[in-house]
Amino acid sequence: MTQTMRWFGPNDPVRLRDIRQAGATGVVTALHEVPNGAVWPQDAIAARKAEIQAAGLDWTVVESLPVNEALKTRSGDWDMLIDRYRQSLRNLAACGIRVVTYNFMPLLDWTRTDLAWELPDGARALRFDPVAVAAYDLFILRRPGAYDAYDLATQAAAEAGYAAMDDDARATLERTIIAGLPGSEEGFTSPQFLRAIEAYADVDAATLRDNHVAFLQAVCPLADELGVQLVVHPDDPPFPIFGLPRVVSTEADVADLFARVPNASNGLCLCTGSFGVRADNDLPGMVDRLGSRIGFLHLRSVQREADGAFHEAEHLGGDARMAAVMTAVHRLSVREGRSIPMRPDHGHQMLDDLNRTTNPGYSLLGRMRGLAELRGLERGIAHATGVMA
């Protein structure tokens, strides 16, 4: 694997030299300063790449080139936005960047309800609690029809949880869910979020799938010509929330997308954390079966909890079966003779980072620990099999 870390640009509290010292050879990043739906200028891409290379690292994977909401709903200035997306791909290819990550989640990118959940050892992790989501949906957002989405037990638990919160706790929950987490391109207030949800009133799961296919059919022929692979990041969490459909949550979802858009450029960012929230996703088997379609790896693990909640576990812990995943990745790398870009994802906030301002999930030391563990696991598997990838 090619070892990378995510970097959020010049304003990231984690510096490029920190990433290099952690042992990575590259970063994955984006032009976060460019508004969603605008063209990424070639000179800005080249300047960012030069900055990264000057630090002794490389940039070959974009994370992410955002898909405007009008493309997801297939409305408004769809043709113009498609043309802009194509031009951004041309500009990235001209700078030697050949893997472009995107997602097709409506409105919200990855979603959590607690950004500093304390673990028994004192480190902090990201956590998702469906009862907290229901509390926000029912009593803060007050989304019309929200009660239909929750059973009576969840409604009761959400009401009790909401009643136990003071104003600060309620504001923190609201901000955590909708203000925009690292990597998200947009944030909302609750009234803005309600209005944005209304734009999806006629978009069910089948329609969203069709819109996803239409987007890929419009951009993949050019990506094929450019030698660029578009890799879709799975839904996080991998199920509908706030009445919004999500359609990249299971292996069957991905297989259907590949069948409908068979272009070589139509690929997958295999996130073992996002897919791993669902016990019905066989992560090592997905590596084996999806094979060459996998252009980028997010290696992390979540611990599923009994009530449907989950939290970010240690990279080699939790429910991901990381040793089996890594064995499958090594097998794929040897079979295809390629080094797949990877990054450790959503590390714990720990040690000195507990006293520093960090992006939630993207502090340095927790990810450095994860990278070291994953590097050691990969090397151990290679030595055990006697075949170096």
Residue range 263-304, pLDDT digits in tens: 999 999 999 999 999 999 999 999 999 999 999 999 999 999
Q: Note the helical H segments in the chain.
A: 16-21, 42-54, 69-73, 78-94, 130-135, 152-164, 167-178, 190-198, 205-226, 251-260, 272-276, 283-290, 322-336, 364-385
pLDDT at 187 over 70: yes
Is 346 among the residues known to form the active site? yes
By residue range, what is the domain housing residue 161?
Answer: 114-196
Q: Are residues 224 and 92 in the same domain?
A: yes
Tell me how far apart the alpha carbons of residues 241 and 261 are, in angstroms, rounded to a whole number: 26
**Structural tokens at position 245:** 């459909």
The pLDDT score that the predictor gives to residue 182 is 67
Q: Are residues 186 and 288 in the same domain?
A: no
Q: Which of 102, 137, 298, 311 is catalytic?
A: 298
Q: Which of 212, 233, 315, 348 is catalytic?
A: 233
DSSP state of 313: -
What's 289's domain CATH number?
3.20.20.150
Q: Which of 95, 114, 271, 319 is catalytic?
A: 271
Q: Look at residues 196, 225, 248 and tell me which one is the last residue of a structural domain.
A: 196
Is 362 among the residues known to form the active site? yes
Q: Look at residues 175, 196, 217 and tell me which one is the last residue of a structural domain.
A: 196
Q: Are residues 91 and 162 in the same domain?
A: no
Tell me if 214 sits within 8 A of 205, measured CB to CB. no
- For residue 64, say if its preceding peptide bond is cis, omega within 30 degrees of 0: yes
pLDDT at 178 over 80: yes
Compute the mean pLDDT over every residue in the chain, rounded to the nearest whole number: 96
Q: Are residues 298 and 322 in the same domain?
A: yes
How many independent structural domains does the chain possess? 2
The pLDDT score that the predictor gives to residue 179 is 76
At 108-155, the pLDDT tens digits run 988 999 999 999 999 999 999 999 999 999 999 999 999 999 999 999
Q: Are residues 212 and 294 in the same domain?
A: yes
Q: Which of 212, 315, 346, 348 is catalytic?
A: 346
Tell me if 190 sits within 8 A of 88, measured CB to CB. no
Mean pLDDT is lowest, of 138-142, 187-191, 342-346, 365-369, for 187-191
Distance of CA 110 to the CA centre of its chain: 6
Q: Are residues 6 and 95 in the same domain?
A: yes
CB atoms within 10 A of CB 368: 22
Is 311 among the residues known to form the active site? no
Q: Are residues 219 and 271 in the same domain?
A: yes
Q: Are residues 230 and 344 in the same domain?
A: yes
Tell me how far apart the alpha carbons of residues 154 and 157 are, in angstroms, rounded to a whole number: 5
Is 353 among the residues known to form the active site? no
User: Within 13 Å, how many C-alpha atoms sit on residue 143's CB side?
Assistant: 25
Full-model pTM:
0.96
Please choose, from the candidates 124, 144, 47, the residue with its C-alpha nearest in 3D space to the C-alpha of residue 358. Answer: 124
Q: Are residues 240 and 334 in the same domain?
A: yes
Q: Look at residues 145, 167, 196 and tell me which one is the last residue of a structural domain.
A: 196
Q: Are residues 221 and 363 in the same domain?
A: yes
Q: Are residues 174 and 240 in the same domain?
A: no
